[in-house]
Amino acid sequence: MLLIRKSVVLLITVLLLPSLSFALSSDRNQPIKIKADNVTLNEKTGVSIYNGNVIFTQGSLILKGSKIVIHQPDGKVSKIIVTGKPASFQQQQDNVKQLVRAKAGKMEFITDDERVYLSQNASVSQGENLLKGEQIEYNTRNSTITAQKGSGKKNRVHAIIEPDKEEPKE
């Protein structure tokens, strides 16, 4: 059981945002590039809303959704909300071959709180490893993961954890 918990924690810890230090170390120094059908920027509140086939990139980080809302009240990104059918996330990590990928109807990245919330049929994968649930919350500050099932027996939390594959010794 402890091995499974550690594997799930390792799977989720490779998640999100350049400021949370799970990404390629070079990502946080890359410019943010956003493509969208339209944008509304409010300099007074520091909120920018991107609508229509939105693609957000920063180094190896790619967020896609029908809408992305970025909160940066003091010029520093404090929250990013991505919605879509589904919204998606992918990122390369240092010293890891497989990309981390996530999908959900809504993704919320809170940098000040060091939390990531995935909801509405959420899934996170890296290679063959997978964690699925109606809601997934990852607290990077204390390295805890909570996955919740939806209503009904069919919507339980699912985890697939592949064993480490050893290289053949010569």
Over residues 75-91, the pLDDT tens digits come to 888 999 999 999 998 88
CA separation for the pair 67, 145 (Å, rounded): 26
Over residues 21-32, the pLDDT tens digits come to 345 667 778 888
What is the pLDDT, as a whole number, of residue 3?
A: 41
Q: Where are the domains of the chain?
A: 2-160
CA separation for the pair 154, 78 (Å, rounded): 35
Share of the chain above pLDDT 90, in %: 38
Residue 159, token pair as written in the block? 């985890």
Long-range CB contacts for residues 49-55, cutoff 8 Å, separation at least 24? 54/82
- Ranked by mean pLDDT, the top range of 64-68, 74-78, 126-130, 136-140 is 64-68
The domain made up of 2-160 is a member of CATH 3.40.228.10: no
Nearest alpha carbon to residue 22 among 70, 57, 61, 65: 61
Q: Would you place residue 161 in the very low, low, confident or very high pLDDT band (cuts 50, 70, 90)?
A: confident
